[in-house]
Amino acid sequence: MRRIRRYAWSSSERRELWGRWKQGQGLVEIARALSRPTPSVQNIVTRGGGIAPPVRRRSARVLQLQEREEISRGLAGGMTIRRIAKQLGRAASTVSREVRRHDGIEGYRACEADRGAWDRARRPKRCKLAQRRRLQRAVARKLARNWSPQQVSAWLERRYAGDETMRVSHETIYRKLFIQARGALKKELLGHLRSGRQMRSSTKPGQGGGQISEAISIRERPAEARDRAVPGHWEGDLLCGGKSTQIATLVERHSRYVMLVKLKNKDSEQVARVLGKHILKLPSALRRSITWDRGSELAAHQAFTVATDVKVYFCDPHSPWQRGSNENTNGLLRQYFPKGSDLSLFSQRQLDRVAHELNQRPRMTLGWDTPADTLNRAVASTG
Low-confidence ranges of the chain (pLDDT < 70): 1-7, 123-126, 179-184, 186-188, 190-211, 383
- Residue 5 has a pLDDT of 57
- Residue 130 has a pLDDT of 75
For the chain, the C-alpha Rg in angstroms (whole number) is 28
Nearest to 6 by CA among 51, 42, 46, 36: 36
Nearest to 218 by CA among 333, 326, 303: 326
- Residue 246 has a pLDDT of 92
Concatenated DSSP letters for 107-126? H--HHHHHHHHHHHT--PPP
- For 81, residues 6+ apart whose C-beta sits below 8 A from its C-beta are 92, 95, 96, 99
- Residue 142 has a pLDDT of 84
Q: How far apart are CA 200 and CA 1, in angstroms?
A: 37
Q: Phi/psi of residue 105, each to 5°?
A: -65, -40
Helix (H, G, I), strand (E, B) or coil at 217: strand
- Residue 207 has a pLDDT of 42
Answer yes or no: are the C-beta atoms of 194 and 327 closer than 8 Å: yes
- Residue 6 has a pLDDT of 63
Report the CATH architecture of 216-381.
Answer: 2-Layer Sandwich (3.30)
- Residue 20 has a pLDDT of 84
For the beta sheet containing 258-262, the strands, ordered from the edge strand earlier in sequence to the opposite edge, are 216-217, 311-314, 289-292, 233-240, 246-252, 258-262
pLDDT digits (tens, 9 = 90+) for 100-140: 999 898 899 999 998 888 888 776 666 777 778 888 888 88
Hey, which residues does 311 pair with through a beta bridge?
Answer: 289
Has this prediction a pTM greater than 0.75?
A: no
Question: Do strands 233-240 and 246-252 pair parallel, antiparallel, or not at all (unpaired)?
Answer: antiparallel
pLDDT digits (tens, 9 = 90+) for 269-308: 889 999 999 999 999 889 999 999 888 888 889 999 999 9
